[in-house]
Chain A
Amino acid sequence: MKKSIGFRLNGQPTTLDTEEDRTLLWVLRTDLGLTGTKCGCGIGACGSCTVVVDGTAVRSCQTTLMEVAGKEVTTIEGLARGDELHPLQQAFVDHGGLQCGFCTPGMIMNAYGLLLEDPRPSREKVVDAMEGNLCRCSAYKRILEAIESVASSNGGRS
């Protein structure tokens, strides 16, 4: 049954008339045309679909629309301010923390969620938080360096 569901998406109020049990990932990728959020496994085991909901990184393939009603959803498209990259995005560029780029939006959003929760995490905590985000090109070394460079400076802009 269709319902009117409202939430804030990348800072903008958004309302959709649709079924509330639909998956956030697919609503983002189809209805809302935000294809930066990727589907890699569909079971929450790879992290490519990670977005931030009310300050917490979640797997959008495991999240329904009703779960984000009234909340603030941030996707990879909402991180930069105009042409100015978010410090995490800039760090991934500077450190070469990407190759094919498919896991990159999920990696960055997961790290963004981590730094919102703890702006100066220990290495152990970074590794633990990023453990569920897979990178087949295996750029892990530079991904870790990129996240740590932001964590050790200002913890990222929130």
Chain B
Amino acid sequence: MMPDLDRRAFLKLVGGGIVVLVRLGPSPALAQFGRGYPEDFNAYLRIDEDGKVTVFSGKIEMGQGVTTSLAQMAAEELGVALDSIEMVLGDTDRCPWDMGTFGSLTTRVFGPVLRKAAAEARAILIELAAEKLGVPRDRLVVRQGVVSVRDEPGRQVSYGALARGQAIARTLGEEAVLRSVEEFEVMGRSVQRLDAVAKVTGKAQYAADIRLPGLLYARILRPPAHGATLARVDTSEAAAMEGVRVVEEDGLVAVLHVDPEMAGAALGRLRPEWNAASPGADTDGVFDDLLSRAPAPEVTGVKGDVEAARTAGTPVLESTFRKGYVAHAPIEPHAATAQLKEGKLTVWSSTQTPFPLRDELARTMGLEAERVRVITPYVGGGFGGKTAGRQAEEAARLARITGQPVQVAWTRAEEFFYDTLDPACIVKIASAVDGDGRITLWDCDVYFAGDRAAEIFYDIPHTRMRVFGGWMGPGASAHRFAVGPWRAPGANMNVFARESQIDVLASEAKVDPVDFRLRNMGDERMGRVVREAAKAFGWTPQPAPSGRGWGVAAGIDSGAYVALAVEVEVDRETGAVRVERVVCAQDMGIVVNPEGAIMQMEGCITMGLGYVLSEELRFDGGRMLDDNFDTYELPRLSWLPRIETVLVKNDALAPQGGGEPPIVPMGGAIANAVFDATGERIFRLPLTPARVKEALGKRRAG
């Protein structure tokens, strides 16, 4: 590999203007995947001769608003108007390599380097302007893409004029000086989403909206259960239908037609015989089943002497928390449109990871990576579920077999069946509290939820955490279904368990839950966030259960600190929990787009109602019992609580993640509020009406 040569070829491809290459730092992944592109940068920014600024990045837009926040960052540092920035995202031929969009990394990790690149571009432009105008650099000011001489507004030159005839390429150095919070003109302000108009007019295209001449719509034969295998299939009836093409290749059985409905009808005419799936655990039995197959633990967070503290005489309170499988359920099901033309495969795909997908397609199709292009149109929600690319591979294979462009758009049932689910998991915590309301012991075993957001920010002398698997690695293969990352993977469960158990201890100590947290707080930044949430809520101290239906929980995720205070109402007849009010305080460092950040907070809170109150994919062995929204219940408009958000100012800290953190404490806050309302604690998510009713019934009976 000769990066310099590649770089020259690349720059020729890019054309003239001023280009600044952005590097995220050394990455072994780059060496592994970066074929076909210069390997030493991950994004670039170009100032064209007409003054237009284009940012090319392998990130994608799935609703989280990065098109807008990244453009804001570039505009701020460059000194141009926001609307002069164009974002080109997720196109593997036009954008440099990127690992993908997940983990709230875009703003946190990619943001600072993009800002530096824009700042460097600005420095280059000022240098050029100084030459052109014949004045020293320090006499120049930039405004809206125009460089002018201070106090002589007549002497000026635009970025476009400066870029004209240039072919300057720089790799980002370390010296670029970023604008400070006090100087911000674009960042730190709420702006309208740049993708809003396209989305309200129906012009925004998603992967299933791509139309190509000769496009065939495919439907694929799916097993009735995970583990069932195809014995034989009679395709004659389907093949006899007018315009239907039947494909059978290496286990892939598909019917295709120019009309998707006809393809669907043909699918119904296939006569498959299946070898039945082996029986297995169901929705309720899966927890014992998983515990029997847990991988060896990783031991972390060891402090003091847990064994000694267990036998020190203070009563040890042990709890077991459970959570079932949760689906991503984006409203856009996975879709891909594939075209193989003159040896080049182009796939429009709903994906969070266009570059890894390109490489996967190259491998499975036996093509060089350069011969594969993945284009990511708007993605209709991801939440971690669009990191797998099965549908793109299916579309690519079918395009090769049929010699025509092919679209594979999953039905809702396929979406539930092949979703990489948030895994079922178990957390066991043994803990103790002394007579002064100080926590003395925290011994936590996590099964299948990993260690994200599991750190203990309370000041406890004796702690231990053992993690028996997570959503990836050895834990993933213990499940019968594919599992994967789900908005803040594992963190929802870890925080539900920890914050529930903290309330168990608070109740034991007869101390108000907010006071109890502050009394045991080991992290002042979190203490501040909890106090802010309590203050905005109007919290008054009372030990739980107070009958008020109030709950509090706190968590750290993606560098952001969040505390929630909620109020619930429990219908004692039906067991239904209604969340009336949620106050969310969040410290996420510098806030790039306050309105955008608040939208993500509101979205997290409202989406979080689902995994806490209703969402659990039910199954029996390998058969999914939920396959559409008629039985798998997502939050609806009527569930909407009153939401109040507080951004806790912390401008000393660079921007932190914002797309995931507030969903993390939802389970703990609501479960604690249900306990506060009823005196009953529910240890299993979701808190369905049946489970709440059962718990209340036991109380009456007991």
Nearest CB on B from A105, distance (A): 5
Q: Is A140 in contact with B261, judged by CB distance below 8 angstroms?
A: no
Task: Flag B322-359 by CB within 8 Å of A: 1 or 0 each.
Answer: 00000001111100000000000000000000000000
Assuming A93-B192, A100-B331, A102-B330, is B202 touching A77 (CB within 8 A)?
A: yes
Nearest CB on B from A34, distance (A): 7
Residues of chain B lying within 8 A (CB to CB) of residue A132: 636
Q: Per a CB cutoff under 8 Å, which of A35, A42, A45, A108 touches B200?
A: A108
Q: Is A89 an interface residue (CB 8 A)?
A: yes
Closest chain B residue, CB of each to CB of A21: B261
Residues of chain A lying within 8 A (CB to CB) of residue B604: 138
Q: Is B261 in contact with A23, judged by CB distance below 8 angstroms?
A: yes
Quick one: which of A80-105 are within 8 Å of B by CB?
80, 85, 89-90, 92-94, 96, 98-105
Binds B, one of A52-60, A113-121, A141-149, A150-158: A141-149
Closest chain A residue, CB of each to CB of B328: A136
Q: Is B275 an interface residue (CB 8 A)?
A: no
Task: Flag B255-268 by CB within 8 Å of A: 1 or 0 each.
Answer: 00011110000000
Q: Per a CB cutoff under 8 Å, which of A35, A94, A128, A131 touches B202?
A: A35
Return 16 A-B CB contacts under 8 Å, by A number.
A34-B202, A37-B202, A39-B333, A41-B628, A43-B628, A46-B629, A76-B200, A76-B201, A89-B201, A93-B193, A98-B200, A101-B195, A102-B332, A131-B637, A137-B381, A140-B606
Q: Is A127 in contact with B202, judged by CB distance below 8 angstroms?
A: no
Quick one: which of A41-84 are within 8 Å of B by CB?
41-43, 45-46, 48, 75-77, 79-80
Q: Is B193 in contact with A96, judged by CB distance below 8 angstroms?
A: yes
Nearest CB on A from B686, distance (A): 16
Quick one: which of B238-269 are within 8 Å of A by CB?
258-261
Q: Is A142 in contact with B599, judged by CB distance below 8 angstroms?
A: yes
| Complex CA–CA separation, A139 to B599 (angstroms) | 7
Q: Does more than half of chain B's interface fall in helix, strand or loop, or is it mixed?
A: loop
Nearest CB on B from A126, distance (A): 8
| Complex CA–CA separation, A99 to B636 (angstroms) | 16
**Residue among A22, A35, A76, A140 with the most chain B CB within 10 A?**
A140
| Complex CA–CA separation, A143 to B199 (angstroms) | 13
Residues of chain B lying within 8 A (CB to CB) of residue A6: none
Binds A, one of B58-66, B91-99, B421-429: B58-66
B-side interface residues, number (CB < 8 Å): 60
Nearest CB on B from A90, distance (A): 8
Q: Is B640 in contact with A45, judged by CB distance below 8 angstroms?
A: no
Q: Is A136 in contact with B329, judged by CB distance below 8 angstroms?
A: yes
| Complex CA–CA separation, A29 to B411 (angstroms) | 15
Q: Is B643 in contact with A141, judged by CB distance below 8 angstroms?
A: yes
Q: Is B607 an interface residue (CB 8 A)?
A: yes
Q: Is B599 in contact with A100, judged by CB distance below 8 angstroms?
A: no
Q: Is A140 in contact with B200, judged by CB distance below 8 angstroms?
A: no
Nearest CB on B from A129, distance (A): 9
| Complex CA–CA separation, A78 to B515 (angstroms) | 56
**Residue among B197, B409, B603 with the most chain A CB within 10 A?**
B603
Closest chain B residue, CB of each to CB of A138: B606
Q: Does more than half of chain A's interface fall in helix, strand or loop, or is it mixed?
A: loop
Q: Is A135 in contact with B331, judged by CB distance below 8 angstroms?
A: yes
| Complex CA–CA separation, A110 to B378 (angstroms) | 22
Quick one: which of B56-109 are within 8 Å of A by CB?
62-65
Q: Is B602 in contact with A134, judged by CB distance below 8 angstroms?
A: no
How many Cβ-Cβ contacts under 8 Å join chain A to chain B? 173
A-side interface residues, number (CB < 8 Å): 57
Nearest CB on A from B199, distance (A): 3
Closest chain B residue, CB of each to CB of A124: B638
Q: Is A139 in contact with B331, judged by CB distance below 8 angstroms?
A: no
Q: Is B211 an interface residue (CB 8 A)?
A: yes
| Complex CA–CA separation, A79 to B383 (angstroms) | 30
Q: Is A100 in contact with B211, judged by CB distance below 8 angstroms?
A: no
Q: Is A141 in contact with B261, judged by CB distance below 8 angstroms?
A: no
**Residue among B65, B260, B380, B409 with the most chain A CB within 10 A?**
B380
The 3 closest A-B pairs by CB, nearest first: A36-B202, A100-B63, A102-B380
Nearest CB on A from B386, distance (A): 11
Task: Flag B414-440 by CB within 8 Å of A: 1 or 0 each.
Answer: 000000000000000000000000000
Q: Is A41 in contact with B259, judged by CB distance below 8 angstroms?
A: no
Q: Is A33 an interface residue (CB 8 A)?
A: yes
Which B residues are within 8 Å of any A CB, using their own CB? 62-65, 192-193, 195-206, 208-209, 211, 217, 258-261, 329-333, 378-383, 409, 411-412, 595, 599, 602-607, 609, 628-630, 634-640, 643
Residues of chain B lying within 8 A (CB to CB) of residue A98: 63, 193, 196, 199-200
Q: Is A89 in contact with B200, judged by CB distance below 8 angstroms?
A: yes
Q: Is A30 an interface residue (CB 8 A)?
A: yes
Q: Is B200 in contact with A131, judged by CB distance below 8 angstroms?
A: no
| Complex CA–CA separation, A132 to B633 (angstroms) | 11
Closest chain A residue, CB of each to CB of B333: A40
Assuming A85-B197, A100-B380, is B259 touching A138 (CB within 8 A)?
A: no
Q: Is A105 in contact with B202, judged by CB distance below 8 angstroms?
A: yes
Q: Per a CB cutoff under 8 Å, which of A35, A128, A130 touches B209?
A: A35
Q: Per a CB cutoff under 8 Å, which of A22, A89, A100 touches B330?
A: A100
Q: Is A127 in contact with B211, judged by CB distance below 8 angstroms?
A: no
Closest chain A residue, CB of each to CB of B381: A100
Residues of chain A lying within 8 A (CB to CB) of residue B208: 35, 39
Closest chain B residue, CB of each to CB of A31: B259
| Complex CA–CA separation, A98 to B639 (angstroms) | 17
Residues of chain A lying within 8 A (CB to CB) of residue B65: 99
| Complex CA–CA separation, A45 to B605 (angstroms) | 23
Q: Is B199 in contact with A104, judged by CB distance below 8 angstroms?
A: yes
Residues of chain B lying within 8 A (CB to CB) of residue A46: 331, 629
Nearest CB on A from B40, distance (A): 33
Q: Is B628 in contact with A76, judged by CB distance below 8 angstroms?
A: no
Closest chain A residue, CB of each to CB of B217: A30
Assuming A40-B412, A41-B628, A131-B637, is B63 touching A99 (CB within 8 A)?
A: yes
Q: Per a CB cutoff under 8 Å, which of B329, B332, B629 touches A100?
A: B332
| Complex CA–CA separation, A135 to B13 (angstroms) | 41
Q: Per a CB cutoff under 8 Å, which of B201, B599, B609, B629 touches A36?
A: B201
Q: Is A75 in contact with B202, judged by CB distance below 8 angstroms?
A: yes
| Complex CA–CA separation, A18 to B201 (angstroms) | 28
| Complex CA–CA separation, A102 to B204 (angstroms) | 9
Closest chain B residue, CB of each to CB of A100: B63
Closest chain B residue, CB of each to CB of A33: B211
Nearest CB on B from A27, distance (A): 9
| Complex CA–CA separation, A41 to B331 (angstroms) | 8
Residues of chain A lying within 8 A (CB to CB) of residue B259: 22, 26, 30
Residues of chain A lying within 8 A (CB to CB) of residue B635: 138, 140
Nearest CB on A from B211, distance (A): 6
Assuming A39-B208, A101-B380, A138-B602, is B64 touching A133 (CB within 8 A)?
A: no
| Complex CA–CA separation, A23 to B202 (angstroms) | 19
Q: Per a CB cutoff under 8 Å, which of A40, A93, A104, A130 touches B637?
A: A130
| Complex CA–CA separation, A8 to B379 (angstroms) | 31
| Complex CA–CA separation, A156 to B603 (angstroms) | 27
Q: Is B383 in contact with A136, judged by CB distance below 8 angstroms?
A: yes
Q: Per a CB cutoff under 8 Å, which of B378, B412, B609 touches A42?
A: B412
Q: Per a CB cutoff under 8 Å, which of A33, A34, A99, A136 touches B634?
A: A136
Assuming A46-B331, A102-B331, is B637 touching A143 (CB within 8 A)?
A: yes
Residues of chain A lying within 8 A (CB to CB) of residue B606: 138-141
| Complex CA–CA separation, A76 to B200 (angstroms) | 8
| Complex CA–CA separation, A42 to B606 (angstroms) | 24
Assuming A35-B211, A131-B638, is B331 touching A103 (CB within 8 A)?
A: yes
| Complex CA–CA separation, A127 to B635 (angstroms) | 13
Q: Per a CB cutoff under 8 Å, which of B196, B379, B595, B630 touches A45?
A: B630
Assuming A35-B211, A39-B409, A43-B630, is B640 touching A136 (CB within 8 A)?
A: no
